[in-house]
Amino acid sequence: MVGNSGSVELENVVVSDDNGTPTDASDDFNPQAVLEGAFNVGDTDDDGLLAPGEQWICTAMQRADETGEQSNLGAVTATPVGGGPTVSADAPAYWTVVRDDHDDDDDDHDDRDDDRDDDDHDRDDRDDDDSEHRKNRSEKKSKHRRYRRGRDHHDS
């Protein structure tokens, strides 16, 4: 998001991103302006000039090569309408990259927890109840398998 805290409209607004590598300018890029028609969605009077109070929006999606703490630096330059020195501003962003399969790992972990709870419960019961409970569970499973096999047979 790019704003103008001054009192003069700005033109030639250029937003850049250091791509998380401040010492390597070769991979820097310009985030895309979020447009509404031909102008930035935040250009409320559609004149292509960043007026005081306007909030222009730019966006970018980059794939991080490494997990862990990441940061990038967004910067913007612009020139005042009617002349004057180029103005600039920058803002760092920090985020953490996690692996794509992180959620799957969590699910597996939860399953293991559930099993462990069952075992604890069985252990509290007497041995007879415990074995009966296990038998009922396996009967239910085999019944379910038979049903599926029968239905498959019926279909074919």
Residues in touch with Ca ion (CB under 5 A): 18-19, 21, 24, 27-28, 43, 45, 47, 49, 51
Q: Least distance in Å: CB of 96 to Ca ion?
A: 20
* Radius of gyration of the chain from its Cα atoms, rounded to whole angstroms: 30
**Cα dihedral value 119, 124, 126, 130, nearest 10:** -20
Kindly report the CA angle at 73 between 72 and 78, in degrees rounded to 5? 150
Q: CA–CA separation, 112 vs 154, rounded Å?
A: 36
Other beta carbons within 10 angstroms of residue 101's beta carbon come to: 9
Residue closer to Ca ion (CB basis): 71 or 136: 71
Count of Cβ atoms closer than 10 Å to residue 43 Cβ? 22
Based on CB atoms, which residue is closest to Ca ion, 21 or 88? 21
To the nearest whole angstrom, how small is the minimum distance from the Cβ of residue 47 to Ca ion? 5
Element (DSSP H or E) covering residue 144: helix 127-155
7-8-12 Cα angle (round to 5): 140
Nearest distance in Å: CB 98, Ca ion: 23
CB closer to Ca ion out of 26 and 156: 26
Query: Of 52 and 150, which has the nearer Cβ to Ca ion?
Result: 52
85 vs 81: CA distance, rounded Å: 10
Q: Write down the least CB distance from residue 90 to Ca ion, Å.
A: 13
Residue closer to Ca ion, measured from CB, 51 or 122? 51
CB of 99 to Ca ion, least distance (A): 24
